[in-house]
Amino acid sequence: MTLLLAETGYEVHAVVVGPMDNNVFVIRCTETGDGVLIDAANEHERLLELCSALGVRRVIETHGHWDHIQAVPAVRDAGYDVAVTAADSEMLPTYDSILEDDNVIEVGRLRLRTIATPGHTRGSMCFALEGSPLLFSGDTLFPGGPGNTSFEGGDFATIIDSLDQRLFTYSADTIVLPGHGNWTTIGNERPHLQEWVDRGW
């Protein structure tokens, strides 16, 4: 069973794939049946089955790290448009379109707002489902702190700024669905920002 959340107008499905236990999400408009897949991470046969079953029209990537993009060639070969930010595009073997900050991705009658959150990678991006409390944070925010910034293209001061200026402006009850592990809320994490700054990771 992949259904994680079901509310009026939308469903969120989730599977965990690959050796890094990546969360892959499908947001589906229940009025039109259209869906979008966040992060074609791994286990492409499983993801293609999900795409077919849930009406996925395109794939959007939170960032370009290897564990989030293993299934990209297979989903493109199957005819799905794959989108990523320009700053992370060279990390992908192949892609179709570019995601820009503060744009709207229409998924049937749903609207996903793009939020540029550099720091984990130069082009990391989060997605907020308008009219809902849902925020898909990729590897920018986890329960207990920001994503790892020790890889090439990562920068701790930048990710802290992304959290402070971009994500922590959302309401406390916003549900954060990250690229790995369990969900959290903005209200749980926001009070700890200075602790993270002080510890340096």
Question: Is the pLDDT confidence value at 19 over 90?
Answer: yes
Average pLDDT estimate for 4-18: 97
Task: Give the tens place of pLDDT for each residue, 132-145.
Answer: 999 999 999 999 99
Task: Give the tens place of pLDDT for each residue, 142-196.
Answer: 999 999 999 999 999 999 999 999 999 999 999 999 999 999 999 999 999 999 9
189 Cα distance to chain centroid: 18
Question: Is the pLDDT confidence value at 1 over 80?
Answer: no
Q: Which two tokens stand for residue 169?
A: 């402006």
Q: According to the model, what pLDDT value does residue 153 have?
A: 95
Give ∠ CA 192-132-175 in degrees, rounded to 5: 25
Task: Give the tens place of pLDDT for each residue, 36-57.
Answer: 999 999 999 999 999 999 999 9
46 sits in which H/E element: helix 44-54
Query: Could you tell me the domains of the chain?
Result: 3-199 (3.60.15.10)
pTM of the predicted model over 0.95: yes
Task: Give the tens place of pLDDT for each residue, 78-110.
Answer: 999 999 999 999 999 999 999 999 999 999 999
C-beta separation of 23 from 42 below 8 A: no
